[in-house]
Amino acid sequence: MYFSILLLLFVLGAIFGSFYNVVGYRVPKGESLLYPPSHCTKCNHRLTPIELIPILSFLFLGGKCKWCKCKISWFYPVFEFCSGLLFALSYVAYGFSLECLLSIVFISMLLIIIISDYQTMTIPDSVLIIFSILIIIIKYFMVGFKGVGILLIHALLSFIFMLLIKLLGDFLFKRESMGGGDIKLLAIFGFMFEFPMAMVSVFLASIIGLPISLIMLKKSSSHEIPFGPFLAISAIIIVLFKIDISDVLNLFVY
């Protein structure tokens, strides 16, 4: 039964991952999620159902478009695989529970943000709003009305703290140092983890992002690096490893 649920969640995660890729790419551009249907970006061939099976279609087609034979990016099957893996790991971490559902919903938002911020340097407000509502509803059933109220205070503190960092960065660098989407995302982190751990997520994201950013800067003439994907990765680590502020403090004690 345990492994059956893992397999089911992996398959669902891969399917949703394929959809999240579309959402993350199209929503920031104001494009419809339904039209045009999924197609080859080179020859505009409309993909058939057999060509839309996550991961497997890429393998069956040999990583090439069925019609024009142009190579399909490895990013798509890898992203679908990672999405499926993260759904399954949520069950490994939390079992059959509201915490597992919360983890899956939260990670779904983060997956879309990774795509949208990397592709378009934008974190769509619509994505943040929809997932915030879902997260608040699930949290309500976990901690009640009073608990949600306390978490909203943590969200506000996280938002204000990141806003102050942005204003300081704008002043020091004489340009926009951080996008508004990152600040709103930290408010959600504050609601999810509470204020102290939200700040830890920023620190962890900076550690993850530093070497990657240096490589990206060498390969690109642009000096703009999206911070959202690094924040998302740090949050995924915190959720799946169930890290709390006491774990962080223990690192300094020992």
Same domain, yes or no, for 183 and 219? yes
Cβ-based neighbours of 87, under 8 Å, separated by 6 or more: 9, 10, 12, 13, 16, 104, 107
Same domain, yes or no, for 55 and 137? no
Same domain, yes or no, for 48 and 131? no
Q: Tell me, yes or no, whether 115 lies in a domain.
A: no
DSSP string, 27-59: GGGT--SSSSPSB-TTT-PBPPGGG-STTHHHH
Tell me the pLDDT tens digit for each residue of 115-142: 999 989 999 999 999 999 999 999 999 9
Mean pLDDT along residues 182-193? 97
* 218 has pLDDT over 60: yes
> Distance between CA 229 and CA 98 in Å, rounded?
25
Cβ-based neighbours of 2, under 8 Å, separated by 6 or more: none
Report the range of poorest mean pLDDT among 14-28, 29-43, 59-73, 112-126: 29-43
Tell me the pLDDT tens digit for each residue of 223-238: 678 899 999 999 999 9
Same domain, yes or no, for 74 and 171? no
Count of domains for the chain: 2
Using CA atoms, how far residue 177 sits from 162, 169, 190, in Å, is 11, 5, 21
Q: For the whole model, what pTM was predicted?
A: 0.94
The last residue of one of the domains, among 48, 80, 96, is: 96
* Mean pLDDT rounded to a whole number for the chain: 90
The residues facing 39 across adjacent strands are: 46
Same domain, yes or no, for 147 and 238? yes
Tell me the pLDDT tens digit for each residue of 60-91: 888 887 778 788 889 999 999 999 999 999 99
